[in-house]
């Protein structure tokens, strides 16, 4: 999967991805506004060769109320299509968003809201990315569910974290390579043994 900055032509598919996954939906105009205002704050995951968007993160810098306000970003929405989950995509997209906030806007921290019942997202934010709960919003969502407002410094070191999903893929690949190397070593030894016993391979004098 290829994670990259969003392009204008991705906006419809981003909206589609959001409609399939979340109760919090936005008009196409909203995506367009975000794209025109700060294209560097929209990242997508694309299925290679298919030109299909399977995940996105949309974020923004909070407006400064006054000069003393600390610059900080806000994750507006993140989502990955069901078939492509647990592959580390949301982790990568979130890291990319945070990197843009830090590098382009010198953001100090990032905040987001998550439903109390959203186990997958809470794991992603707290366990994988190290967010902490800042506040609990009672009946924050339209359907009455409570929210957690979470916060993380954008100056923290998150780039070295490898998600378990990615790590297990790396381990799997390594195991496969080791097995291949072992079996080709075994074949070689077997062939050498056979040629010794049949006398094949010996130079005639």
Ligand X SMILES: CC(C)(COP(=O)(O)OP(=O)(O)OC[C@H]1O[C@@H](n2cnc3c(N)ncnc32)[C@H](O)[C@@H]1OP(=O)(O)O)[C@@H](O)C(=O)NCCC(=O)NCCS
Residues that bind ligand X (CB under 6 A): 21-22, 78-80, 85-91, 114, 118-121, 123-124, 127-128, 163-165
Pick between residue 21 and residue 153 the one whose CB is nearest to ligand X: 21
- Return the residue nearest ligand X (CB atom): 164
Pick between residue 54 and residue 61 the one whose CB is nearest to ligand X: 54
Residue 138 and residue 146 in contact, taking contact as beta carbons nearer than 8 Å: yes
d(C-alpha 169, C-alpha 78), whole Å: 23
Order the strands of the 42-47 sheet from edge to edge. Answer: 2-5, 42-47, 52-61, 72-80, 109-115, 147-153, 132-137
| Shortest Å, Cβ 48 to ligand X | 16
Place of tokens 């929209």: 42
d(C-alpha 34, C-alpha 194), whole Å: 69
Pick between residue 100 and residue 128 the one whose CB is nearest to ligand X: 128
| Shortest Å, Cβ 98 to ligand X | 14
Pick between residue 108 and residue 169 the one whose CB is nearest to ligand X: 169
């Amino acid at each position: 999967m290829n994670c990259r900055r969003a392009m204008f032509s991705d906006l419809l598919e981003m909206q589609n991805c959001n409609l399939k996954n979340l109760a919090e939906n936005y008009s196409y105009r909203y995506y367009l506004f975000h794209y025109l205002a700060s294209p560097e704050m929209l990242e997508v995951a694309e299925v290679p060769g298919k030109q299909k968007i399977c995940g996105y993160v949309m974020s923004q810098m909070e407006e400064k109320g006054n000069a003393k306000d600390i610059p900080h970003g806000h994750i507006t929405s993140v989502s990955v299509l069901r078939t492509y989950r647990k592959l580390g995509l949301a982790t990568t997209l979130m890291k990319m968003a945070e990197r843009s906030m830090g590098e382009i806007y010198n953001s100090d921290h990032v905040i987001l809201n998550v439903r109390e019942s959203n186990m997958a997202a809470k794991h992603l934010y707290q366990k994988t990315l190290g967010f902490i709960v800042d506040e609990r919003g009672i009946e924050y969502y339209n359907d009455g569910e409570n929210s957690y407002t979470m916060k993380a410094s954008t100056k923290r070191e998150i780039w070295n974290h490898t998600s378990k999903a990615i790590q297990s893929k790396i381990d799997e690949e390594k195991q496969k390579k080791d097995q291949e190397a072992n079996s080709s070593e075994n074949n070689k030894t077997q062939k050498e043994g056979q040629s010794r016993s049949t006398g094949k391979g010996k130079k005639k004098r």
